[in-house]
Chain A
Amino acid sequence: MGYSALKIFKEGLFGQKGWKPVWRNPEPKPEYDVIIIGGGGHGLSTAYYLAKAHGITNVAVLEKGYLGGGNVGRNTTIVRANYLLPGNSEFYSHSLKLWEGMEQDLNYNTMMSQRGIINLFHSDGQRDAFARRGNAMINQGDDAILLDRDGVKDMLPMIDYDNVRFPIYGGLYHPRGGTARHDAVAWGYARGADQRGVDLIQNCEVTGIDIEGGVVRGVQTSRGAIRAKKVAIVVAGRSGQVAAMAGMRLPIESHVLQAFVTEGVKPILDNVVSFGMGHFYISQSDKGGLVFGGDLDFYASYAARGNLPMAEHVTDAAMTLMPSIGKARVLRSWGGIMDMSSDGSPIIDKTQTDGLYLNCGWCYGGFKAVPGSGFSYAHLIAKDVHHEPASKFRLDRFRTGRGLMDEEGTGSQHNLH
């Protein structure tokens, strides 16, 4: 069902009785051309682009819980294309372009808000590193502006410039970055995929991957066996378990990242801001909640919840940077399971099993990749060749060392990215 101004008006007059389900509840068919394991943001967008860009509609998305119940529904909603290294640059640049056309494409308001992202820096060395990044962004065709201290002051008056522990030297401003309504992204892709015939099957846990002679044949699920010509894994924090069903051991460690939202307050912060010395980033939602987060809790975890030390560290950072928000109250904290790869960059690749594909390693930054990841993964699944902007996301880069994308420069320890 298409959404239009007229439709909204009519439904308003007639008690909203005419709205149809945004997706069906199909029973699994015995066989599909493609099975996508994982009904999160990336899985749903993969299904959407398989159908839309490649005409492949005999597709099932198998989700063990509810659609969009993973990290796409529990993040800080930041969208950006501000990467340093080749491989990442072109991919996130492509993804941001998809974001910019998403609402019209999906006929669904995902509330993409390009309110601009400012990464603060606190020393000459950090400024130079951010300059290198900003120049890489412009080389890629994206936007970046190097703000000096006064430039930051004009945009972010709530920062305590005089007393902050690490002084504000300036900021790298990425005007096209911003936020979006996270759940709506999952729902928009789900609706678009469903409309094109994709079966979205919830409460269907994959328990095994059937492989014969090095070729994938289908999956075992909590709702029975389903055959498939191709199987695509895209399960974020659960990548280790699902890949193990296919005999793979991945360069992935799953970690918990917490995020926080305050009670709604009247608008005080227009941009997304990150504090380079405190691993703290913050924005304000359209409902008024200050949405913020920080670093990983740093220990491997599947609990989707964290502990106080990191929560306090994050609020500590808030208090040194912008003590004017001290009286905002943290309403809710939550945690997601991050598939931390050992160079901090993702994997979109084939596997040693014919017809089995892998998409993982998004670390704590998968939300902004939702459209790009689905687009490139669908391309790989449909054509068996890498989509150019994602062509560096190879699994073998860890083994050879060629083409590692270690944005943080922290090496092969998963939790340091």
Chain B
Amino acid sequence: MRLPCPLCGERDRREFYYQGHATMLDRPARDAGIDAWDDYLHNRDNIAGEVEDLWHHEAGCGAWIKVTRNTVTHEVSGAKLVNGARK
């Protein structure tokens, strides 16, 4: 498996750390309430198909990237820096 790091180019999967679905980018406000935080921390759409998920180019440039990837076929159709991905 290979992932396109926006800074480094395509690299082997073994350079990356995986965190999970990109919902982790949408951190609730401190006072958003227990349900919002429960949803954020634990619950996932867990889609069988195209998802956006979060990887860290740990053994590379250190960038956190949001990868568009299909969980059924493992096809990777793009990646953005989470930095740039936010607004």
Contact = CB atoms under 8 A, between A and B. Distances in A.
Contact of B18 (A254, A298, A412): A298
Interface stretch (A34-42, A151-159, A301-309): A301-309
Contacts of B1: 299, 307, 309
B35 A399 contact: yes
Interface in A227-255: 238-241, 244, 249-254
B38 A240 contact: no
A399 B38 CA distance: 5
Grouping DSSP codes into helix (H, G, I), strand (E, B) and loop, the B interface class, with mixed when no group exceeds half, is: mixed
Nearest to B13: A309
Contact of B39 (A249, A298, A414): A249
A254 B53 CA distance: 13
B44 A251 contact: yes
Interface residues of B, number: 28
A413 B43 CA distance: 10
Given A249-B45, A300-B51, A413 B35 contact: no
A398 interface: yes
Contacts of A250: 43-44, 46
A300 B43 contact: no
A345 interface: no
B72 interface: yes
Contacts, number: 79
Nearest to A400: B34
A412 B24 CA distance: 11
B87 interface: no
A253 B18 contact: no
B44 A252 contact: yes
A240 B44 contact: yes
B47 interface: yes
A262 interface: no
A75 interface: no
Given A307-B13, A309-B14, A302 B48 contact: yes
B74 interface: yes
Contacts of A239: 46
A145 B79 CA distance: 49
A342 interface: yes
B69 to A, nearest CB: 8
A253 B21 contact: yes
A399 B74 contact: no
Nearest to B51: A300
A398 B53 contact: no
A358 to B, nearest CB: 13
Q: Which interface residue of B14, B38, B42, B71 has the most chain A CB atoms within 10 A?
A: B42
Contact of B34 (A399, A412, A413): A399
B68 to A, nearest CB: 13
A36 B61 CA distance: 48
B21 A303 contact: no
A412 B71 contact: no
B62 interface: no
B41 A240 contact: no
A415 interface: yes
Interface of A: 238-241, 244, 249-254, 298-303, 307, 309, 342, 398-400, 412-415
Interface of B: 1, 12-14, 17-21, 34-35, 38-39, 41-48, 51, 53, 69, 71-74
